Chains A and B, each alone.
Chain A
């Protein structure tokens, strides 16, 4: 009796130790991947003299001066608004066009269409930038939300179709046939039966379409101006001054990254599913 208790105690101890070892290894692996983001946050809260001090300061009284300066001197509220409008707009319109297309490709096996849309996912964005710039200049649409939303849709739409087509393929035809026997039209069955069933896929693809647009830098550099400048472009322009204002730069970097990180913390399951789509079969 007491013998078995001793062994079970010992094996439990051993297990705990091994668990501890596992978590130490995990921490050692993860630290380098988190460090730059932690450093960004720490630097944004230091006074300028502390940011450039060697050896680096690890404990200090945080200051919000850089955040206040970024909003007071650089109209960051405006850039946040621009990025938000463009990301929401491009995601919404991408869903509007992409969901029916994905359904149709899945149901009627329109592989040629899907190939065309796949090319849009593979092609480097810069390939379209010169013609877009010509076209939008001629139409006087440079520096408008419309041109930016259209540009970002070329990222969002193919991605949504790419993620959603397998989702629709996974739903048995019988389900929509049952709905149609009950008197629904095929379009009705799509909206009332299929869309709710593919909810997780819709969440995955729209979160990522939003994030891709929010993070996008290349299109904004060329297609925005004073009116519609997005956050990444604004942050980049920040650097163009001769003396780099590291505090302001880090504060701006935190402001632009924070929403994405919050989204990642809330919806990690969906995001992982979307980012690994195409490599892992569900």
Chain B
């Protein structure tokens, strides 16, 4: 009896707990943040939020160079990091692609940068970037190359963080492309050999077009995640020196949990949320024409 009652409603009963959880933990918080974004509030218990309508949005968009700086840096970080990761990742995958016994072992090693705890990763890069005692400057010097100030320099800090992101996430593109390569049909390649195509011709005219949908999907996943990068930036620079590495994620955090400007932070979060969602929708919409 009970099981029949359950079966009849299974489509609701099975999905309901997850849905309620998502509503309580995500939908309500977003609505609350939305409402808070129209107020001025410093989180004080005695002084409640004061309604200031669009005040926070106006101040962000028109009176806050820090906001536009963060927007620019977030896009720059995402664009450069994902572009480098894609090119490097695809090249590495093409070089590695071979049916050998060690293939799985190679993949496991490649997995490590992207799965290692980001805070720990940030710490060791901090040590390696250190201008006077770091191993990177030492190696560059030993090779006779110019050394850098890395995170200590406002003009190099963002690029240094991009380097870390490239280190972390190039393997993801490589692994995705390798999986894509493994699933390709053999016939086009055999035909190319028969026709006497060179290796490079085969890569450009057969392999790359065939794996394009896989690469596009990987780039989309990566773009959305890169846009939200937080851990390595916060652990390594906290947005500094000055505001040189302050992205939207970091600026939101600073506004909310260091300055306690809850209203303005909420407005920024809504803008950030809208940007991420918009980005995801646009990318998803571009997916079909790009992948063909």
Q: Once the chains bind, are A235 and B217 in contact (CB under 8 Å)?
A: no
Q: Are A34 and B119 in contact (CB under 8 A)?
A: no
A226 at the interface (CB under 8 A from B): no
Q: Known contacts being A236-B235, A280-B183, is A54 close to B29, with CB within 8 Å?
A: no
- Taken residue by residue from 207 to 251, chain B's Cβ proximity to chain A (1 for < 8 Å, 0 otherwise) reads as 000000010011001001000101100110000000000000100
B106 at the interface (CB under 8 A from A): yes
Main secondary structure of the interface of B (DSSP, over half): helix
Could you write out 5 A-B pairs with CB less than 8 Å apart? A26-B95, A43-B127, A154-B26, A185-B7, A217-B234
Tell yes or no: A32 within 8 A of B by CB: yes
Closest to B170 in A: A33
The answer to whether A72 has its CB under 8 Å from any CB of chain B is no
- B118 A275 Cβ-Cβ under 8 A: no
Given the known A-B contacts A37-B124, A261-B116, A268-B104, are A188 and B138 also in contact in the complex, defined by CB atoms under 8 Å? no
In the bound assembly, the distance between CA atoms of A179 and B11 in angstroms comes to 18
Distance (Å) between the CB of A188 and the closest chain B CB? 7
The 0/1 profile, CB within 8 Å of A marked 1, for residues 47-84 of chain B is 00000000000000000000000000000000000000
- Do residues A260 and B253 form an inter-chain contact, with CB atoms below 8 A? no
* Chain B: minimal CB distance from A264 (Å): 5
Among B27, B175, B235, max chain A CB count under 10 A is at B175
Distance in Å from the Cβ of B13 to the closest Cβ of chain A? 8
CB pair A130–B269 under 8 Å, yes or no, is yes
Q: Is the CB of A36 within 8 A of B124?
A: yes
Q: Are A29 and B104 neighbours in the complex by a CB distance under 8 Å?
A: no
CB-based contact A272/B175 at 8 Å: yes
**B30 near A: Cβ within 8 Å?**
yes
Q: Which residue of B lies closest to A98 (CB)?
A: B18
Contact between A280 and B180, CB atoms less than 8 A apart: yes
Q: Which residues of B contact A119 (CB under 8 A)?
A: 26, 277
**CB distance B115 to A211 under 8 Å?**
yes
Q: Is residue A257 contacting chain B, with contact meaning CB distance below 8 A? A: yes
Given contacts A40-B120, A124-B276, 13 further A-B contacts (CB under 8 A): A25-B95, A33-B171, A37-B112, A101-B18, A123-B276, A125-B228, A158-B22, A215-B119, A239-B235, A261-B116, A271-B111, A275-B114, A279-B176
Residues of A within 8 A of B (CB): 19, 22-23, 25-26, 29-30, 32-34, 36-37, 39-40, 43, 51-56, 96-98, 100-101, 103-105, 107-108, 110, 113, 116-117, 119-120, 122-135, 150-151, 153-154, 157-158, 161, 185-188, 190, 211, 214-215, 217-218, 221-222, 231-232, 235-236, 239, 246, 249-250, 252-254, 256-257, 260-261, 263-265, 268-269, 271-272, 275-276, 278-280
Distance of A126 Cα from B217 Cα, bound (Å)? 25
- Decide: B110 and A33 in contact? CB cutoff 8 A: yes
Q: Are A250 and B138 in contact (CB under 8 A)?
A: no
- Residues from chain A with a CB closer than 8 A to the CB of B228 are 124-125
Instruction: Closest A residue to B10 by CB, please name it.
Output: A186
Partner of B249, one of A105, A126, A269: A126
Chain A hits for B46, CB < 8 A: none
The residue in chain B whose Cβ has the minimal distance to the Cβ of A22 is: B98
CB of B185 within 8 A of chain A? no
Q: Are B32 and A124 in contact (CB under 8 A)?
A: no
Q: Which residue of B113, B118, B167, B280 contacts A215 across the interface (Cβ within 8 Å)?
A: B118
Contact A268 B29 (CB under 8 A): no
Give the interface centre of A36, A105, A161 by most chain B CB atoms within 10 Å. A36
In the complex, chain A residues whose CB is within 8 Å of the CB of B11: 104, 107-108, 110
Inter-chain CA distance A103–B218, complex, in Å, is 25
Cα–Cα distance between A29 and B95 once the two chains are bound (Å): 9
B273 touches A103 (CB 8 A): no
Which residue of chain B lies nearest to A23 when distances are taken between CB atoms in the complex?
B102
Asked if A101 contacts B19 (CB within 8 A), the reply is yes
Return B16 CB to nearest CB of chain A, in Å. Answer: 8
Per the bound structure, the CA–CA distance linking A279 and B19 in Å amounts to 25
**Considering only CB atoms, which chain B residue lies closest to A52 in the complex?**
B133
Instruction: Identify B32's interface contact among A131, A185, A221, A275, CB under 8 A.
Output: A131
Residues from chain A with a CB closer than 8 A to the CB of B112 are 33-34, 37, 261, 264
Which residues of chain A come closer than 8 Å to B292, judged between CB atoms?
Answer: none
Complex interface: chain A residues within 8 A of B126 (CB): 239
Contact A36 B128 (CB under 8 A): yes
**Cβ–Cβ contact B231 & A264, under 8 A:** no
Question: Which residue from B21, B118, B121, B217 sits with its C-beta under 8 Å from A278?
Answer: B217
A33: nearest residue on chain B (CB-CB)?
Answer: B113
Selected from B14, B32, B109, B176, the residue in CB contact (under 8 A) with A30 is B109
Q: Is the CB of A232 within 8 A of B32?
A: no
Q: How far, in whole Å, are A260 and B113 apart by their CA atoms in the complex?
A: 11
On whether A246 and B32 interact (CB within 8 A), knowing A37-B112, A101-B19, the answer reads no
- Closest chain-A Cβ to B164's Cβ sits at a distance in Å of 9
Q: Check A122 against B224 for contact (C-beta < 8 Å).
A: yes
- Which A residues touch B33, using CB under 8 A? 127-128, 130-131
8 Å CB contact of B269 from A127, A261, A276 = A127
Identify which of residues 114-161 in chain B touch chain A, using a CB-to-CB cut-off of 8 Å: 114-121, 123-128, 132-133, 135, 138, 142
**Is B25 in contact with chain A by the CB < 8 A criterion?**
yes
What separation, in Å, do the CA atoms of A133 and B262 have in the docked complex? 11
A235 touches B120 (CB 8 A): yes
Tell me which of A107, A157, A252 contacts B22 (CB under 8 A).
A157
- Nearest CB in chain B to that of A272: its residue: B175
